[in-house]
Amino acid sequence: MPLNAIQHFLVHTDDVEALADWFERNLGLTRGVTPDFKVPVVWLFIGDLDVIHIAEFPDAGKEKRFQEKYLGGRKTDVTHGSGVIDHVAFHCTGLADMIARLDGADASYLKRQANVGDLFQLFVDAPNGLRIELNFASAEAEASGIEPDMTASEAVAVG
């Protein structure tokens, strides 16, 4: 099966530090290395695994760019409750087969190369608007000649 483990979920908030502190204090998660996505974000870990990513809602100056490029045009006014969960991510194998499956189902998705170069992502839109992030080793994309629609750095580039 291509999906082999849940990887993380992303939560949007208006106060990244306060929410990260809450998870640390109340649930014992710890902060770890977080890639530079050019937006405020904290990754929280259980042991060596990053399981919760916390990101700030885009401010007015960045809102259009962030929503169109990074979030694929999605917009929400939800700031509290379960609606703040942006996406759920899975570690996967079988990139070419997954793309064929999604194409066969006429699913909406975006192919993205992560900044560090070792991660190739598919962002799939579920019928209810939930975004599903499928993470593959970049080597799978390279071996199959699969090109990204964009890179993560392009998704958050100012301009």
Amino acid at 153: S
Half-sphere exposure at residue 88, Cβ-oriented, CA atoms within 13 angstroms: 8
* Tokens 């194409």, residue located: 103
> Distance between CA 54 and CA 42 in Å, rounded?
5
CA distances for 122 relative to 22, 71, 87, 98, 159, angstroms = 30, 12, 12, 9, 24
Amino acid at 12: H
Quote the mean pLDDT of the chain: 80
- Taking 50 as the threshold, does the pLDDT of residue 65 lie above it? no
> Distance between CA 112 and CA 65 in Å, rounded?
16
Domain that holds residue 47: 3-155
What residues are paired with 134 via a beta bridge?
90, 122
Confidence (pTM): 0.69
User: Strand, coil or helix: what is 101?
Assistant: helix
Who has greater pLDDT, 154 or 144?
A: 144
Identify the CATH number of the domain in which residue 45 sits.
3.10.180.10
What residues are paired with 110 via a beta bridge?
123
Structure tokens at 136: 């593959």
Name the pLDDT band for 66 (thresholds 50, 70, 90).
very low
- Our count of domains for the chain comes to 1
